[in-house]
Structure 1
Amino acid sequence: MHDEEPAVGILPPAAKLGLVPSRHSLDNLSWPLGQPERLLGKQLKDLDRRDHLLLHPRTTSYYRPSFGTRAQVSVMVLEPRIVHERHIEKLRRFHWRFHKVLTAVEDDLIAHIPNGVFFPFGSTWVENCDDLDVTKTKMTSLIASAKRSQPGHLIRHEIVDWAKANAMDLIALGGGYQPFAQKQEGLAPYRFSVVIENSNEPNYFTEKLVDTILCGAVPIYLGCPNIDRFFDTSGMIICKNADDIRQAVKNASEQLYQSKLPALRAIYDKATYWGDLEGRAARVLLSDHR
């Protein structure tokens, strides 16, 4: 990045600005397009008006007297209403505190504020996906944590229990079952993977789907009802309920996988695009400078 170009720093989700935000180290931000030399070792107060600071939603952001910077401060609301409802409601009142509000919530948020920007979640947890060994040796996986607080959590465990009871060719992985060191271990060797979003809301899809595509597994997908807005679904198996998932698991075969493979490969680049969460966000913020 050229040293005189506008910079975009992102505060990590778990980080806090603290009582004196101006002293927050810029070296602790994420810099998807690179941290300029002029900002190395500096603090939030050293950003200037051409620069951008992007935050994840926190209740304190709506009330704090200052963000401690001259930079343009934006916020991104990525989770569905079931998780971020309070932030969606707050931003309808306090949107003016931010340069831009990045979100995929169209009817309940973007339609009500002047600075909303359509921005789906996507993201990825798979690193170096271009170098993965995606040789298929197993049929179907399902990755699940031990959580049971949201609708998608419950359906995942329901499918695992059914698969075990009926001797289906499905391997349950993740924190709730067989832990793995890297997520690709639960996707790359498999022809199919059951992908269930935590919540089925328009425009909401996550790394669960993106990572499956990047690892060359056909998604057996229950989630975003308008996912065809973002991907050609020919390389996927779209499900509307748990019964559809059960039927898809029963039907999984080498022949079906091979028939889906060309369409699956065709959406790899799109998955790479949606997986680049922070890069996409930075480019949105810099679009005003072009």
Structure 2
Amino acid sequence: MLSRLKLFVALSITGILGVYFCADSSLKIRYYIYNQMDSYQRNKSKIAPYFDEKYYIKNCSFFHKNPSIPAIDHFMLRGWKGSWNETCDPNDWFNVTLFKEKIHKTSHNPFLYFIRSQPQKIEYQHKTVIYSTKDQTVRTWLLINALLQEGIFKPELRLSTQDYKNVDAIPSPFKILQSKGLVVHLDSKASQSLYSSPYWKERFQYDLKHKKKEEQKDNPPVINISEGKVFYKMHYLYRPRKWLDKALLQPQYLNFAKYTDESLQFSVMGQTEEEYSQKMRRYCAAFDLVFTGVPIHLPQERIIPGFLDLFTTQEDFSEQKEFTVSFLLSLGAKGLNSYPKQAGRIYSVRKELWDRQNEIKMKKVFYLSRRDVDKFPKELHDRVMPTDTKKPLFKSHYNVAIENTQQINYFTEKLLDCIAMEVVPIYIGCPNVGDYFDARGMIIVKDLSEMIEKMNTLKEDDYQKFKPYVLENKKRLTALLNLKNQYIKDFFQLFTLN
């Protein structure tokens, strides 16, 4: 075996060679050097029983670029620093991206860390029982691992003999956790869901007594919520900088997520839509419920369109409306130069409408957003919205609502506020908005020219023709606004807590 001095020299040479030669050559050299090391062989022997070579070769795109060494060595020798975008999992139950970035941040091999890490050497305060079905294996081992590391609850896992005939048949992650203190029992009566485990109620009681209430800041990436006799955490994955940089998953709690693919969100991360979406979907595997407008093909997903939030209240409602069209020019922090024409974005349409407003024949009520008003030319400051509320907009029969992007199942308060205030939206945005609202209560257009053309055909009594469908859409909006809460209610009813 190599001496320490020889090893240091060899690794230094490897680093230099990696600069001048291709990564494949550098990997081969490291493979040769590390395989002479006792510590490397010990680590490999720990990983080997749980490493699925066929799975790794099939799913790791990076391995396909460098297939010159055995798969297990490729997994062990590649770098682990920085953000992890590659799908290079050692098996079908250990999600490298999730564990490394959201469970335990490490610059070393996360799978080796999981195998080697030991619970805190303290006396557990409480014993607790956890159930799990076969399809809940990943979520269950994440929970149990978190409990063992936390050191408050001593978990006892009860599995059904319908799923596992004997202890040797239990999944690998549970075998690893057994070496860390997990007790596993096979029980013919234990065919129950993870979510019916006594643990959740016991956790709630413990936190009520021992945990201090956390101060909630404005727009936090994670919010702690109490539902009956259980706490859960709501993660906002569409606030990427805050959530990616600051939020960690705590598997010992129920974790719900709200996620949407909005181009303005992933673009600020310097990623393509595909890169951002792929990473978010890998994170979503650890959540108990995922509210999303884009199917991610997980059993815990619940389809909810766009951002179901209102920026208005009943105080903004005006019973008496006028035959006018209103519009709020809102662009962004760079004022008139915010978000030029780019694929998937329609911010620029708002500025174009402002510039072409003289083509509109009917009376207009056009305002400039108070947000970042200092970024706009001074000659426009007298057009700023006179109040902090949107009430002046909704005295009109019609309001122009232009979304940030045109995406399936994606709409925002720009549309919803119109519907809530019984105003007819003149709308550019969600292509399938008719799946959610009656299109007869809206004026849906494809582009700005069509919008202006339709506005110029409107007559004063047309609003009354729209009114029945406007009211129907308001009813549908009420149901949509409650959709997430209904899904959560159904979740807790389905998995009755002991």
TM-score interval (norm. to shorter): 0.7 to 0.9
Find the counterpart in structure 1 of residue 235 from structure 2: 55
Runs of 5+ consecutive residues of structure 2 not aligned to the other structure: 1-200, 205-213, 267-272, 333-337, 374-382, 494-498
**Deviation, structure 1 residue 144:** 1.9
Could you say what secondary structure the match of 2:411 adopts?
coil
Find the counterpart in structure 2 of residue 258 from structure 1: 464
Find the counterpart in structure 2 of residue 88 from structure 1: 277
Runs of 5+ consecutive residues of structure 1 not aligned to the other structure: 18-28, 37-47
- Give 2:483's match in structure 1, choosing from 273, 280, 286: 280
Matched, 1:163 2:357: yes
Distance (whole Å) between structure 2 residues aligned to residue 198 and residue 116 of structure 1: 24
Structure ranking higher in helix proportion? 2
1:1-290 superposed matches below 5 A: 14-15=219-220, 29=223, 50-57=230-237, 58=240, 67-68=249-250, 70-78=252-260, 80-84=262-266, 85=273, 87-106=276-295, 110-111=296-297, 113-120=298-305, 121-128=307-314, 132-147=317-332, 148-149=338-339, 151-164=345-358, 169-175=363-369, 177-179=383-385, 180-187=387-394, 189-274=395-480, 276=481, 279-290=482-493
1:252-275 per-residue CA deviation (whole Å, 9 max, x = no partner) reads 32122121112112211112333x
Could you say what secondary structure the match of 2:461 adopts?
helix
Give the conservation status (yes or no) of the 8 Å contact 1:59–1:87: no
Distance (whole Å) between structure 2 residues aligned to residue 285 and residue 13 of structure 1: 23
Amino acid at match of 1:183: K
Two-structure CA RMSD over aligned residues (Å): 3.2
Structure 1 residues 219 and 91, CA gap change in structure 2 (3 angstroms): same
**Deviation, structure 1 residue 79:** 5.1
Give the conservation status (yes or no) of the 8 Å contact 2:325–2:365: yes
Distance (whole Å) between structure 1 residues aligned to residue 258 and residue 283 of structure 2: 13
Distance (whole Å) between structure 2 residues aligned to residue 170 and residue 79 of structure 1: 33
Distance (whole Å) between structure 2 residues aligned to residue 217 and residue 181 of structure 1: 19
Distance (whole Å) between structure 2 residues aligned to residue 266 and residue 219 of structure 1: 14
Give the conservation status (yes or no) of the 8 Å contact 2:221–2:247: no
Could you say what secondary structure the match of 2:456 adopts?
helix
Structure 1 residues 128 and 249, CA gap change in structure 2 (3 angstroms): same
Amino acid at match of 1:218: V
Rg larger for:
2
Distance (whole Å) between structure 2 residues aligned to residue 81 and residue 152 of structure 1: 11
Give the conservation status (yes or no) of the 8 Å contact 1:52–1:285: no
1:213-253 per-residue CA deviation (whole Å, 9 max, x = no partner) reads 11121111111111110001111111011111111221232
1:18-69 per-residue CA deviation (whole Å, 9 max, x = no partner) reads xxxxxxxxxxx575xx777xxxxxxxxxxx8x43211102467679895457
User: Which TM-score applies when normalising by structure 1?
Assistant: 0.74
Could you say what secondary structure the match of 1:102 adopts?
strand
**Deviation, structure 1 residue 282:** 3.4
Distance (whole Å) between structure 2 residues aligned to residue 12 and residue 197 of structure 1: 27
Amino acid at match of 1:73: N
Percent identity at matched positions?
22
